[in-house]
Structure 1
């Protein structure tokens, strides 16, 4: 599989001879990510509901494993190296701070003086600096030191903050979104520039597109499944025209601003015509559980097959890697995925009880930033304490504060908050 990738794609920022010759460079990448602390922390980070709320619902780690499975399967059908795409999928959420996008929102607001915060830019920072595995000749951490192809595949937004477009849509509490989407902080530009050598500015490699779509597919289906099991959604509600119109408003606010009611009605009709779509309320029985699992499998297969066929129709059936092609997502498929995401967003993310919890979460993150920024160095974990000692400006010190807070899980953020108060 690696024969389709040239020497530059297999290169590392710091050269490291393999310890076991039988492994490909991309298999080494995957192993490094699987054994990382950053991946393990996802088990205690929020997905749709808090990770301790129920044994069944997903946390960020279980979501990540599901994204990785979808991504690996889709990569194989297109001819991408499955290890490259799977590693990118495993990495895609490791930059999330405690409380997910809610925590990201606070850190973005409080870190303007050091270049802002964005979960995807934080992912690159973790992979290339913060997650200890390899060092350069001067003894500085270079993170997991992954190959160029894998790092590029992990980069959802291949541009700095200055190249980001204005945010659109709204947060769950109805306020306008303020988080810009970008993939690298200014002080990580050297490794980013190395990673992107030869790439067209702003263009994502095919592997990154597969990773991103797999994320959309997985959480559109699985967040809906969790919400049905938790009793927050009964899909029969959508037979009511008024309720549907409210949901379509959320779809436009959050995901598809140009989607019409008629298009979304058509998308829902197509989804509900699948044989596995439920016709009775979920009652928790084994037969209901099995039916729901069949629905998730059918929907994932539906979306991936549609994209695979559309991409092959445009580019042919030969192996497609790196910048050979762009993923083709038919309009109808994008509408169906957006429809499912919007249902979960409307009935779960925008629910009054969750919005009130989110206010408290934002207060916790803000308090932690203030306490660490104004407190003594011994409040930091040792690795971040060393970073703080090397920081040569207020902006650099603030970046260390943000790195420390972003590294915390939901539970550890609450524990630190209680201790520091």
Structure 2
């Protein structure tokens, strides 16, 4: 499944050095990422709950480790079950790499930081987390530089100097983000500055063949599924542990809160249509009654005397009175771990694969319909009931303002003097305003939540020390 061309590194080095026959090129990519500063910084970037609240909650680093593990497990399952993969198996190191790398480009304060940076950069190439991931891996990390390399940037930067196939595993959205836009609004894709590199990635992965309309490698598809599985399940676990949700509260909201149910239904239908269903089929599958039924199905193992079918409404009073059973899932670690473990196992069992003989790298991976409904319902329930809750919205609003004000301070006249020396040098060498703004954006996007809050405090608050370096 992997040819020598796609194992080559963007510096031009061969993908398998003879002196290191004991490890593959993809294992080396995995190692380079593990040791990268941008990967370490994920430990201080929020996943769902701010890290200062508790050391139990997941952060972007632990989330990425979990996605990596789930993705590798999916690859092992497919290697064992799919006949076409028994002699040309998926590389589990490469799949694990994709899981580790998938959130690398997230700025401080998650999606609100992402929206803040895009609102500031929409006239200069935009900002988007996945695009920033590719930029970090291929440009910003300080592993390799070579002014003569074909696919280095104008400064010769090559990032971690990864293989083309590893970079392909991070390309979730096959779309160039416009260099300029008339209106604000996040666009998922890759930056125009990386367009030629992306074209070369496609050429190498497909061994010179013309890429189809939609390019997404099998490793990237697996990573995307693993991300949805992890996000929907483990963010729920954190919400249960933190007391933000209980099973009975979820069931009551999906039954009685029309706004919540309508949003969940709409998003699940959109996911079904993206998977290939027609609008009418998606509307029928993701009906109000079916979404309510799915929520009951997810929690039925911990709700005593639960009934299905016509007796479901008759048993509702019993369910709503089962308060102790509902609270147990949040308070008892054994029960909670068994619950999430069972969900993960169920979701992984729902992964399906279709081999692409013409382009093996673009073989199709997806969740069968029942599993997709479970994952999407759980994911969007958590979003509506937790992420959109007033307590978290307040934190996210504050993050947007912190990122915006830091960026504005740095982009004012002489504001670049607040940048670290290496960024000052890049800023001085930038050829136009768009390039200067990109330097500032790269610096702010690389901040952790903690560092951004501290930097903001030093600019606008009471922390006036001059002895701590920037």
Query: Structures share a fold, TM > 0.5?
Result: yes
1:180 maps to 187
Q: Which residue of 1 aligns with 2:327?
A: 282
Task: State the Cα RMSD in Å.
Answer: 2.4
Partner SS state of residue 126, structure 1: helix
Q: State the alpha-carbon separation in 2 of the partners of residues 234 and 55 from structure 1.
A: 21
Conserved in 2, the CA contact under 8 Å of 1:277 and 1:295? Answer: no
Distance 2:186 2:405 in 1: 19
Which residue does the alignment assign to 2:418? 379
Q: Secondary structure at the match of 1:281?
A: helix
Asked which structure has the greater RCO (Cα within 8 Å, sep 6+), the reply is 1
The partner residue of 1:248 within 256, 261, 268 is 261
Mapped partners of 1:385, 1:15: distance in 2? 29
Q: Which residue number corresponds to residue 4 of structure 2?
A: 7
Question: 1:264-296: per-residue Cα shift (whole Å, max 9, x none)?
Answer: 1232233234x467871335898x211111111
Separation (CA, whole Å) in 1 of partners of 2:407 and 2:138: 23
**Aligned-residue offset at 1:15:** 2.6
User: Contact 2:135 / 2:194 at 8 angstroms: preserved in 1?
Assistant: yes
Matched with 1:148 is 164
C-alpha deviations, 1:116-161, integer Å up to 9, x for none?
1100000000000001101124471100111111111111112212
Q: Is this contact kept in 2: 1:276–1:294, CA < 8 A?
A: no
| SS, match of residue 327 in structure 2 | coil
Q: 1:255 to 1:12 in 2, by over 3 A?
A: farther
Aligned residues: 396
* SS of 2:250 mapped into structure 1: helix
- Residues 191, 239 of structure 1: alpha-carbon distance in 2 compared, 3 angstrom cutoff: closer
Q: CA deviation at 1:255?
A: 5.4
Give secondary structure in 2 for the equivalent of 1:295. Answer: helix
Q: Matched residue of 1:180: which SS?
A: coil
Q: 1:397 aligns with which of 436, 446, 455?
A: 436
Structure 1: tracts of 5 or more residues without a match: 168-176
Structure 2 residue aligned with 1:174? none
1:223 is aligned to: 235
Separation in structure 1 between the aligned mates of residue 27 and residue 198 of structure 2, nearest angstrom: 22
Q: CA deviation at 1:205?
A: 1.0
Residues 253 and 401 of structure 1: CA distance in aligned 2, closer, same or farther (over 3 Å) = farther
Deviation at 1:181, TM superposition (A): 1.4
| Displacement of 1:227 | 0.2
- 1:228-267 deviation digits (Å, cap 9, x = unpaired): 0000101112343644644323324655445321231232
Verify the 8 A CA contact 1:229 1:282 in the aligned structure 2. Answer: no
> Counterpart in 2 of 1:271?
298
> Does 2:60 align with 1:60?
yes
CA–CA separation in structure 1 for the residues paired with 2:166 and 2:428 = 31
Q: Quick one: distance in 1 between partners of 2:42 and 2:330?
A: 30
1:170 — aligned with what?
Answer: none
